[in-house]
């Protein structure tokens, strides 16, 4: 009997040695696309809230998606290509690439599941060779972003909602899999980490680190230079 295996990866500070969401904001500042003083202060504040587990995802998304509404998709994609080259490529470690490659070889289904919106993260998933991306979906009308979110943000408990819906579309449910793995760095992912059979903490934040120790979860480092 074939052993069914699902592998899920968080993206920011897990597969990436850095945060693509925050970095995209910094990139917009560096290109003079947004007001540096006001935008940077808010970007920093939201990132602190995220790390503290107090983020209001809707307030953050309203802020984060606003710049996307001002430009054509063509222009945004040109900037994103530069962002991938300049900012994201250096965040992808050989360890992370190897782990994903191994999962793609071993598992029946592999996905990246991230709170960061799909405009920022789809090309990053492609860079890892991962077809399936569960991300927060920014609404588009006539090839323009509206600044609104389509459906449930892929954040905290929302990751479980979105995962179940994605699996349902493929004719599966989580319990179909003998093994379900989820790799994450963040306390914000405790709901989904608790829902899988094999939670793995990656370069964990302090709250997740304490939880992983208490529950004897494996912990790995994907960002070390060795």
Cβ atoms 12, 18 nearer than 8 A: yes
Domain assignment present for residue 171? The answer is yes
Question: What is d(CA 154, CA 162) in angstroms, rounded to the nearest whole number?
Answer: 6
pLDDT in tens, 173-205: 999 999 999 999 999 999 999 999 999 999 999
Query: Measuring CA to CA, how many Å separate 13 from each of 2, 4, 88, 173, 188?
Result: 33, 27, 12, 27, 12
pLDDT above 80 for 1: no
Across the range 12-19, mean pLDDT stands at 97
By C-alpha distance, which of 1, 224, 22, 14 is closest to 130? Answer: 14
List 12, 19, 21, 189, catalytic entry: 12
pLDDT of 224: 83
pLDDT of 141: 95
pLDDT of 2: 83
Cβ-Cβ contacts under 8 Å for 9 (sequence gap 6 or more): 15, 99, 100, 103, 110, 111, 112, 113, 130, 182, 183, 184
pLDDT above 80 for 226: no
Cβ-Cβ contacts under 8 Å for 84 (sequence gap 6 or more): 123, 124, 127
Domain assignment present for residue 109? The answer is yes
User: What is the phi-psi region of residue 172: left when phi exceeds 0, alpha when psi lies from -120 to 50, beta otherwise?
Assistant: beta
Total structural domains within the chain: 1
Average pLDDT, the chain: 96
Across the range 143-156, mean pLDDT stands at 95
Phi/psi for 175 (5° steps) reads: -70, -10
Domain assignment present for residue 167? The answer is yes
Q: 35 catalytic, yes or no?
A: no
pLDDT of 74: 96
Domain of residue 170: give its range.
5-220
Domain assignment present for residue 226? The answer is no
Domain assignment present for residue 102? The answer is yes
Domain assignment present for residue 138? The answer is yes
Cβ atoms 109, 174 nearer than 8 A: no
Domain assignment present for residue 39? The answer is yes
Cβ atoms 55, 46 nearer than 8 A: yes
Q: 205 catalytic, yes or no?
A: no
Across the range 136-162, mean pLDDT stands at 96
Domain assignment present for residue 188? The answer is yes
pLDDT in tens, 98-130: 999 999 999 999 999 999 999 999 999 999 999
List 10, 19, 185, 189, catalytic entry: 10
pLDDT in tens, 55-75: 999 999 999 999 999 999 999
CATH code at position 111: 3.40.50.1000
pLDDT of 225: 61
Return the CA Rg of the chain: 17
């Amino acid at each position: 009997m074939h052993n069914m295996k699902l592998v899920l990866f968080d993206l920011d500070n897990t597969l990436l040695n850095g945060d693509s969401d925050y970095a995209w904001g910094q990139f917009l500042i560096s290109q003079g696309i947004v007001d540096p003083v006001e935008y940077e202060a808010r970007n920093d504040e939201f990132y602190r809230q995220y790390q503290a587990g107090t983020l209001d995802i809707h307030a953050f998304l309203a802020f984060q998606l606003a710049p996307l509404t001002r430009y054509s998709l063509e222009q945004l994609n040109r900037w994103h290509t530069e962002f991938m080259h300049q900012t994201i490529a250096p965040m992808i470690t050989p360890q992370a690439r190897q782990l994903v490659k191994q999962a793609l070889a071993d598992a029946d289904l592999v996905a990246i599941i991230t709170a960061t919106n799909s405009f920022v993260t789809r090309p990053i998933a492609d860079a890892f060779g991962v077809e399936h991306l569960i991300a927060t979906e920014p609404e588009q009308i006539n090839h323009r972003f509206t600044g609104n979110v389509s459906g449930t943000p892929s954040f905290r408990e929302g990751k479980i909602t979105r995962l179940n819906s994605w699996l349902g579309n493929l004719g599966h449910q989580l319990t179909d899999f003998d093994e379900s793995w989820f790799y994450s760095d963040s306390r914000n992912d405790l709901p989904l980490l608790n829902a899988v059979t094999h939670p793995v903490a990656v370069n964990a934040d302090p709250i997740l680190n304490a939880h992983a120790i208490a529950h004897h979860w494996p912990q790995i480092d994907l960002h070390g230079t060795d």
